[in-house]
Amino acid sequence: MKTYHYIVSGKVQGVGYRFCVGYKLKKLEMKGIIRNLDSGDVEIYLQGEEEKIKDCERHIKLGSPYGKVTNIEREIVDIKEFSKFNIEY
C-alpha cells in the first residue's frame, strides 16, 4: 500500500483545518495521521484505496472554511502501515 505524505501551507492552524480534513478522511475510511507542525504548516500521512486519493486531495486542498491553503507538497514515502486515521492535537 502506498503512503502519501503532504505538507500543507497557508492559514491552516487555528482555523479547524485538522478537524475538517481529518473528519472527511476518516469518513472515506483512510488510514494515517494529521498534525500541526511547529512551522505553522500541517502534515498528513495518508494510506488507503488508490481510487479515493483524488477525493482526499480535494478535501486537503479545500480545508476549513476559515482557513486558506496556499501550497501543498506531496510525496510517496516508505513508512509502516497505519491501523486507523488519527487527528493529533
CA dihedral angle for residue 20, residue 39, residue 50, residue 79, rounded to 10 degrees = -130
Neighbour tally for 1: CB within 10 Å: 9
Q: 6: helix, coil or strand?
A: strand
Check if 36 is active-site. yes
Active-site annotation holder among 35, 36, 74, 86 = 36
Q: How far apart, in whole angstroms, are the C-alpha atoms of residue 46 and residue 60?
A: 11
Which residues are identified as catalytic? 18, 36
